[in-house]
Structure 1
Amino acid sequence: MELLTPILQAIGLFVATNIDDIIILSLFYARGAGQRGTTRKILLGQYLGFGGILLAAVVVSLGARSFLPEDALPYFGLIPLALGLYAAWRAWRNRDDDDDDEEAKVADKQVGVLTVAAVTFANGGDNIGVYVPVFATASTTAIIAYCLVFLALVSLLVLAAKYVATRRPVAEVLERWEHILFPLVLIGLGIVILLEGGAFGL
């Protein structure tokens, strides 16, 4: 039961922070259509890039736990809260615009392991910003559980992208709802971290 909570939280967090990756990876699938080894390259690249994201988040969070007083850690909840508010503002500001950001990220890029890894890592700034406060306030066991669940879900993410690549209406639905789901999850996560840690005397 002790591990069930971080496992469920990890699943929810992974889904919320990686919906946009489904779109990006599906575009890589579209570019690699008819080429041998496309799935293998995308899978390896995604693991490599996401592994870098996880490593960065773990290192930063452990550093924070080592050098910051324990009372300061709950204030890390301000990071996902700020990211969520910014994402909500950006979604509202661009509500009438055609979103070509994902296409731009893979434009003129061949499907290769390092290319997919680089795009994944470059697109993971928000992930790191979200994972650091979660890891900084979690136990070592919980961090390990988070990482194992995240790594297990990477394969499902790639399979989902392969499915979406051949079904554009599904991709359009994901794009539309991602702009709503992502800010809500981040704002909620930030509030939970602040409340559970007793930040600001809450």
Structure 2
Amino acid sequence: MILLAQAAGLFAVTNLDDLVVLALFFAQGAGHRHAARSIAIGQYLGFAAILGVAVAAAFGATFLPEPAVAYLGLLPLALGIRAAVQAWRHRHDDPDSPTTGRAAPRALEVAAVTFANGGDNIGVYVPVLATAGPAGMSGYVLVFLVLVALWIAAGRYFATRPLVARALSRWGHVLLPVVLIGIGVLILAGGR
């Protein structure tokens, strides 16, 4: 029971920023068929990659030299710039049309942002998993994977609340690039 609470707390603390990004992705996908599925698949792919690297590193494997980790910030930075360019191109489109000029998020885009944004998660998860032992590590991973579903549901919930949905519908096309570019810059700056 203690491990469950520790895993849930660790997940929540390290993924609060991801909840905001998920809500923005769900707002971007509003009105697009299968957008929710693509977002969920992307979130699981990205988080599975985070866990894969963290588990491997907990067993002593390292995939990237420490200075190279900062370059993961290029992924959300590039996606943010792309979203900003799209928002600029469609700035005169009808704002009442939820899908005008906005493409639904793709699973691999969501996965890339999730993984890049999870670099700090890896740094936190590795020592915890390394000291938890095989059974504890399995418990953490299982709890994390269950909580990803809760995070997806919460992101979708927030994006569909009338007040939040109106704000995201009106400002989401601006917020998403700003958040993605900000995440990219923070990751790049954190590696120096």
Give the TM-score range, shorter chain. Answer: 0.5 to 0.7
- 1:69 is matched with none
TM-superposed CA distance for 1:166, in Å, is: 2.9
Q: What one-letter code is carried by the residue in structure 1 that aligns with 2:121?
A: N
- In 1, Cα distance between the equivalents of 2:82 and 2:138? 32
- Count of residue pairs the alignment pairs up: 132
Q: Post-superposition, which runs of at least 4 consecutive aligned residues in structure 1 deviate over 4 A? A: 103-106, 168-171
Q: SS where residue 164 of structure 1 aligns?
A: helix
- 2:24 is matched with 27
- 1:165 is matched with 159
TM-superposed CA distance for 1:12, in Å, is: 0.5
- 1:57 is matched with 54
TM-superposed CA distance for 1:164, in Å, is: 1.2
Tell whether 2:139 aligns with 1:142.
no
TM-score normalised by L of structure 2? 0.63
- 2:114 is matched with 120
- In 1, Cα distance between the equivalents of 2:16 and 2:82? 16
TM-superposed CA distance for 1:163, in Å, is: 1.1
8 A contact 1:28–1:106 mirrored in 2: no
Q: What one-letter code is carried by the residue in structure 1 that aligns with 2:111?
A: A
Tell whether 2:156 aligns with 1:156.
no
For residues 1-202 of structure 1, what are the structure 2 equivalents within 5 Å? 4-63=1-60, 104=80, 107=83, 110-167=104-161
- Counting aligned pairs with the same residue, the percent is 53
- 1:73 is matched with none
Superimposed CA distance per residue, residues 162-194 of structure 1 (whole angstroms, 9 cap, x where no aligned partner): 1111346699xxxxxxxxxxxxxxxxxxxxxxx
Gaps of 5+ in 2: 62-76, 87-102, 168-192
Q: SS where residue 111 of structure 1 aligns?
A: coil
Gaps of 5+ in 1: 65-100, 172-202
Superimposed CA distance per residue, residues 129-185 of structure 1 (whole angstroms, 9 cap, x where no aligned partner): 1000101111110000000000011111000001111346699xxxxxxxxxxxxxx
Q: What one-letter code is carried by the residue in structure 2 that aligns with 1:133?
A: P
Superimposed CA distance per residue, residues 44-98 of structure 1 (whole angstroms, 9 cap, x where no aligned partner): 100000000000000001117xxxxxxxxxxxxxxxxxxxxxxxxxxxxxxxxxx
TM-score normalised by L of structure 1? 0.60
